Structure 1
Amino acid sequence: MNAPSTASGTEPTDGSAVRIGALVPLTRPGWVEAGRHLLAGLELAVDEVNGAGGIAGSPIELVVRDTAADPQKATAAVDELARLGVAALAGEYHSVVGRAAAARADTLGVPFLCSSAVLDALTDEPTNWVARLAPPQSRGWKVYADFLLDAGHSRIAVAAQPSVYWASGIRILRDHLAPRGGTVTELDMSVLSPAEVCDALVDHHATALLLLTGFPEPAVSIVKAVRRDQRFAEVRIGAPAGQPEFAEWARLLGDDGAAIPFLRYLPETLSPLGARVEKMLGGRLGEAPSFVAFEGYDTITVLAESLRSHGTDRTRIAESWGRVAVEGTRGQIRLSRVEGIGVWQWVSAPVQVVDRDPAEPGRLRILRVD
């Protein structure tokens, strides 16, 4: 654990704001819709904390920086926010960007509660400065692999783009499926067109195709190509990273976007708190909130509890991760150490496999719960 920077957060004594830096993808090539939902959750929670008296009478001020899915931009944002004296950092959706932000936060000694990034190796070495609410990729993607096997799919093709995140997902799937007789064939989307993906599916006798690609492209074009090819009426398309969660998926694909299972991190039934927040988020967003919006809300809920109980000093916040216990929108949140994970982790974060109902693409069906 690195020594904290000299610009550590200090206790406000004059009612001045407690600053929290928010890392959010708000412009392309970032997943803008995910960023909008994440920010809505962060902002709603801040408004509610401030409406209830803030932190010892001081309001929280959210200092937002756009990461645009760019690790270098995220690193620069962490540097800037540290200089501005934020007490802690929150947010980020993209795993590779979250990893860059976590590394810099660890170096500077700024506590970072990551909302959504799932990459197991969020840091190279164990650190006390970083904690995470999203379940690690290895857990969620194993749940997804078991779903595929139970549905009768053991010959899996993945349409993948170069990325640490996608490569990690392929490795998890391959390692989990191989002992159970499953195979994973990688289709390199840096050289293949959607039409060539269709031909490769035939060559490899795949019964499922997973989209480990960016959205909207090439994911949308791949789905359209497969849906329109009569050879693949029985081929299951999947998107474990959650592309179909957002309304833009349904707008771009319509009926073609239904029956494509993906992972999301919500409980089967929301608690009264979750139901209330769902309604509030829906009003802000003008549409049903995604799980990412709930992750944003829960991030501020955890940080506010830490700030109330342990103050705004950065070192004390980082030391408090293991002592925080708070009711979030998706269950009781406690952070702990997990073997193989270098950051503080919410172990019991809910995991679902979900798809859009072919009879009503605006409605989500729960297919599996872990």
Structure 2
Amino acid sequence: MSSFRTAFALALLCCVPVLCIAGGARAQGAATIKIGELNSYKAQPAFLEPYRKGMELAVEEINGAGGVAGRKLELVVRDDGGNPGDAVRVAEELVTREKVDLLAGTFLSHIGLAVTEFAGRRKVFFLAAEPLTDKITWQNGNAYTYRLRTSTYMQVAMLLPAAIAAKKKRWALVYPNFEYGQAAAAIFKEQLRAAQPDVEFVTEQAPPLGRIDAGAVAQAVDDAKPDAIFNALFSADLAKFAREGNTRGTFNGRFAVSLLSGEPEYLDPLRDEVPVGWIVTGYPWYAIETPEHKAFIEAYRRKFNDYPRFGSVIGYSTIKSIAAGIAKAGSSDTDKLLKAFENLKVVGPFGPFEYRACDHQATMGAYVGELALRDGKGVMVDAKFVDGNTVLPSCAEVASRRLRPQN
């Protein structure tokens, strides 16, 4: 038994007994490797339409080169309804009715957690492509789930040096009131307090996802008179908050750090209303000159006549990861695939990364930069790539985090 499975032995003993159905139940001689992919396509189209295109590009490249382990890849895509219960039902249908070899996808953190629990209970391989919550690989992790995208903890850690260097005492927190936002705020408070014990958090605004009263939130932040703002809103909620904050002067003279706000999915719709000066994580596709990214962007433009978004990178890297794992395993058998993903090395548009054996988290990094206006639209400037390895806790620290809840 691997060290990862040993770490989860006690947790697995607590699960309700169920009939075990392996994800690799289809005959290995089948013509294709079926990837069951579920996601909130209708609820989060800004990110997930580019994500789907990234997947399609990767499948086309891999199948065009002869497939993997002698078989072509086949995507079986379903919408999870943006609801954990629906997501579990869809995952069940993919495994039972469609006989997929493995599961991948999910976007929202609470849905990713639901499918993580399903994967552990049904003993099917699951690559959580996009959900950010650390619980997927830490407190709620299991032997059957790996995660690709740079996690909440990692992204907060990437912004922390700028927050510390700003030396601001009074902070306002703004985040969506569900698992990802709650975790982001908790991690930021924990890490900033450790570095700056006298910090004060003067207000926390946590509107429901997709139902923000942006004017009221911006006014509440302004009324609290913070020196700085931590933001974890995204998508339409971010756009509404940024516009109201600019209109009301909420951001004037205030330092701000923000998760995800440099991703073109969320930055482009703001146009000239971008909150200039925010330090953000994101994807400055127009400024990345590495060979891996140049090859990716050329292939993406050739196929779609468009520039990639960050979702495109994640979709592409999801399929490339699965293909690399199957190639290493020589099979889509669940047990062999799980073993192959331990310390699996993959090359994506951001360069090489790997999946850690101790917590199943990928080390893929992200870009950090400052928001600015250029030709009437928002861009990231002075962007620098942060290797995921540099912001992940040690395996010993991960083990301790699995045993205690986040504050």
TM-score bucket of the superposed structures, by smaller chain:
0.7 to 0.9
Higher deviation after alignment, 185-194 or 139-148? 185-194
Higher deviation after alignment, 98-107 or 197-206? 197-206
Residue in 2 that maps onto 1:245: 263
Partner of 1:234, secondary structure, is coil
Q: CA RMSD in A?
A: 2.8
1:195-246, Cα deviation, whole Å (9 max, x unpaired): 33344334322133344335313x3232222212246421245431x14513
1:25-55, Cα deviation, whole Å (9 max, x unpaired): 2102xx2111112111111111111001112
Which whole-Å CA distance do the structure 2 matches of 1:326 and 1:192 have between them? 38
Which whole-Å CA distance do the structure 1 matches of 2:380 and 2:290 have between them? 18
Which whole-Å CA distance do the structure 2 matches of 1:335 and 1:230 have between them? 43
1:335-354, Cα deviation, whole Å (9 max, x unpaired): 1134xxxx41123x213223
Residue in 1 that maps onto 2:176: 161
Whether the 8 Å CA contact 1:38–1:91 is kept in 2: the answer is: no
1:171 CA drift (Å)? 0.6
1:129 CA drift (Å)? 0.8
1:93 CA drift (Å)? 2.3
Residue in 1 that maps onto 2:79: 66
Q: What TM-score comes out, normalization by structure 2 length?
A: 0.79
1:261 CA drift (Å)? 3.4
Residue in 2 that maps onto 1:299: 318
Residue in 1 that maps onto 2:381: 365
CA distance 1:192–1:204, shift in 2 (3 Å): farther
Higher deviation after alignment, 180-189 or 162-171? 180-189
Moved over 6 A (4+): 265-268
Which whole-Å CA distance do the structure 2 matches of 1:233 and 1:245 have between them? 23
Matched, 1:345 2:361: yes
Matched, 1:76 2:92: no
Whether the 8 Å CA contact 1:273–1:329 is kept in 2: the answer is: yes
Letter paired with 1:290: R
1:140 CA drift (Å)? 1.3
Give the counterpart of 1:94 among 105, 108, 112.
Answer: 108
Residue in 1 that maps onto 2:272: 255
Which whole-Å CA distance do the structure 2 matches of 1:258 and 1:205 have between them? 18
Partner of 2:134, secondary structure, is coil
Which whole-Å CA distance do the structure 1 matches of 2:236 and 2:25 have between them? 39
Which whole-Å CA distance do the structure 2 matches of 1:104 and 1:231 have between them? 43
Matched, 1:205 2:225: yes
1:297 CA drift (Å)? 1.2
Give the counterpart of 1:5 among 21, 25, 36.
Answer: 21
Give the counterpart of 1:279 among 270, 278, 298.
Answer: 298
Q: What TM-score comes out, normalization by structure 1 length?
A: 0.86
Partner of 2:361, secondary structure, is strand
Partner of 1:150, secondary structure, is helix
Residue in 2 that maps onto 1:44: 57
CA distance 1:171–1:26, shift in 2 (3 Å): same
Matched, 1:144 2:136: no
Partner of 2:76, secondary structure, is strand
Whether the 8 Å CA contact 1:21–1:63 is kept in 2: the answer is: yes
Matched residue pairs, number?
A: 359
Which whole-Å CA distance do the structure 2 matches of 1:231 and 1:119 have between them? 28
Partner of 1:336, secondary structure, is coil
1:105-145, Cα deviation, whole Å (9 max, x unpaired): 11111111122222110164442211112222112112213
Whether the 8 Å CA contact 2:38–2:106 is kept in 1: the answer is: yes
Whether the 8 Å CA contact 1:5–1:108 is kept in 2: the answer is: yes
Residue in 2 that maps onto 1:115: 129
CA distance 1:158–1:344, shift in 2 (3 Å): same
Whether the 8 Å CA contact 2:280–2:371 is kept in 1: the answer is: no
CA distance 1:171–1:331, shift in 2 (3 Å): same
CA distance 1:210–1:367, shift in 2 (3 Å): same
